[in-house]
Chain A
Amino acid sequence: QPKPVEQPAPAEPAATEAPAATEAPAPTEPPAPVIKVGQVTDMGGIDDKSFNASAWKGVQDAVTEFGIEGKYLESQQQSDYAKNIQQYLDEGTDLIVTVGFLLGVDTAKTALANPDQKMAIVDYTFPDCWPGAEVGVQCGTDQELPNVRGLAFQTDQASFLAGYLAAGMTKSGKVATYGGLPIPTVTIFMKGFEAGVKYYNQQKGTNVEVLGWNTATGEGSFTNNFESLDDGRAQAESFVQEGADIILPVAGPVGLGSAAYCKETGSCLIIGVDADWYDTAPEYKDILLTSVLKKIDVAVFDTIKDVVEGNFTGGTVVYTIADGGVDIAPFHEFDDDVSAELKAELEAIKAALIDGSLTVDGVLGQ
């Protein structure tokens, strides 16, 4: 199966910019009847410091921007997905935003059963088929569900930059990353990060080592949960003991545990994920090198915007470094510590990634 990151980014990204040209309705005159948007979280819950949270941010932004009505429903278990979606159907919600690949099947089924219900799903597209689906028609292509927009992110491009930056900034010659669980949406960060470091070594003939992930073997460090911040702390402590001084935690709130350790001991720097931790976790700004941005909020906001403006389309939208859907955050506190040339190199790499002359897989030799 093609992974979303490997899919050719279709025209949608353009679509997301296009409407900017068309006149947006001023927030003062709310369109009547008021548009209803409902988000269904996965098990992580709305406060997962990760994609549920940032999706919700997108909804809230839209609420303030367009005066729409936005709600969320937390799922506590698998069987809640269908139930929560159904709840929104009953309430006559205009756009249902489901978060996470675990909601894929239920989203697809609902979409098929209710062809004019607009839906969007974060971190998922529909390459997979399910029993009862007509292969090639309902699934197995990118475009199979006209009323569902799959929001995918080429996160590895951003974490590639982060990796390069980390390699450039490390004093000990060792950088580290770990995940919550070995699942694609997590490992794609780690993969890009390793690639970035590797690329740096290629360029500079250095030998910066990445702890906690190895794309070749697919082995790495995982806390096996997204709850226990204490585990995050232990991971950081362990990495530091093994000599790492920059850490990219890809485990939602667990990462804050690592941040806490770095802040307390001052022995390491953290690279945030998903949102810019400078805003979401300001208490750690003085050990925050940068963040790998995965702008789910923007994606969700755009989708809602399209709904509001009546040009919602289904299919897959892959957000890339090109359209700024993924990126790395400013260096904030560390702006002075990052050398001008490193900044320049990062810009160059960014450009190369955009024009495709440089690809993550290419670096990893795949």
Chain B
Amino acid sequence: MPPVLQLKGITKAFPGVLANDHIDLELNEGEIHCLLGENGAGKTTLMNILYGLYKPDAGEIYVRGQKAEIENPNDAIQRGIGMVHQHFMLVPVMTVTENVMLGVEEKRNGVFLDRAKVAARIREISHDYGLEVDPDAYIKDLPVGIQQRVEIIKVLYRQADILILDEPTAVLTPQEVEGLFKILRSLVAKGKSLIFITHKLKEVMALADRITVLRLGRTVGTVTPSEVTPERLASMMVGREVNLTVSKKPPKVGDVALEVKDLYVEDERHQVAVRGLSLDVRAGEVLGIAGVQGNGQTQLVYALTGLAPVLSGEIRILGKPVRKPTPRKILELGVGHVPEDRQRHGLILSFPIHDNMVLCTYYQAPFARGINLQEKVIVANAETLAKQFDVRTPNVFVPASSLSGGNQQKVIVAREFSRPIKLLIASQPTRGLDVGSIEYIHSRIIEKRDEGAAVLVVSSELDEILALSDRIAVMYRGQIVDIVPAAQASKEYLGLLMAGISPADAAKSVAPVAAGEVERVF
């Protein structure tokens, strides 16, 4: 029998970028086919073409043997193709039901929306596939994990049997990932066929029937998990050998640089998001905060960096108590901040790189004399930093928006690390970056730590936390549930804490500390 899906010689060029270059891909009935490739490899583009969002410059698509002209998403949906997008396509101010029915609305007496009927159908689906979700909940109130379920339900509601999932695990806890995998397997069992996009090697190994690796828009090859090792895959992806473990000397711990006592913080919707949190970070160590997104890490960092007001509690930075912290006050205390959302906070995308490089220091000597900006100095500074931090850009006059995600991140890192900082607060420092960039940024962070700076790393990537941290704090519902030394922390134990199991119970099921050194691969 023919494969359910065949892509032949798909080619797509964007201004200046050849995103897809004669890519071939086959998907068999009931198969999980992993699409692996670093950022910008062309995965999303390929899928967008398949889903009718982009028109290919060349190439053909065959669905169940017949040639298919897919002009727009409708055509794709017609042919039973469904896609869970890398960046969720949900309307936050609408309910689950509304989001699911959007575009294929059920009608009562021909005109009015029939929400009840759709809600019922959703319940069925969640029951069949174990995708628990409340149809009447508003998207904006749901954690990402659940939002992803909604995305999947959307696809199933449209009776798709070819599912595309674009980097679905980027935002999930290990447990959630496990849950997702269960769901995916049950889907396959029910005869669906999946294309699963990721750049996490272990997931690929765990899940895939077959793996196709893309690099720079070209197919590198298609393999089965049994044939390859993670290292092999990684080098296929990146095109060179990469070192997947972070080597670091034992910390030379100094005195306390950041001290937080009984901190309370509200989020935008005036819900108390951080409740009575206390921790301290010492000079020369990395404290990693693990936890599922939306457990108050964001607000914690906002509070520490003055982006959100503190309800109550005490923050001491380098021994000095900061009352009513404003971002500037804190920056001037010698704090570096790599923000969670690089495009929203970290950069002024429309500004040239050289201005972004002095975003926090533009008013200080030597960049300004009085109120006069010293353009020459600013440009010179940018050029040295760009070289030093290997920001890939033709010149420092181009707007930051024209940089790739990883290079944008490097600009931020360059800016923050080049200041004399004693405390570094890095939030999701490598989200959405490729192995190469991750490797680079990690080594920089460790470098800072070895220079004697205190480092606070917040990440929802447990592996990242394990790789970087000296101590690991798990955050749940706005509180620190436990702090363990990283060297022997067991991933399973942390996972349970992140999922809300109390330390006591967790300790019962798994050993808090793993025996011996665990290798940090991801």
**Do A and B touch, yes or no (CB under 8 Å, in the complex)?**
no
Q: Which residues of B contact A (CB under 8 A)?
A: none
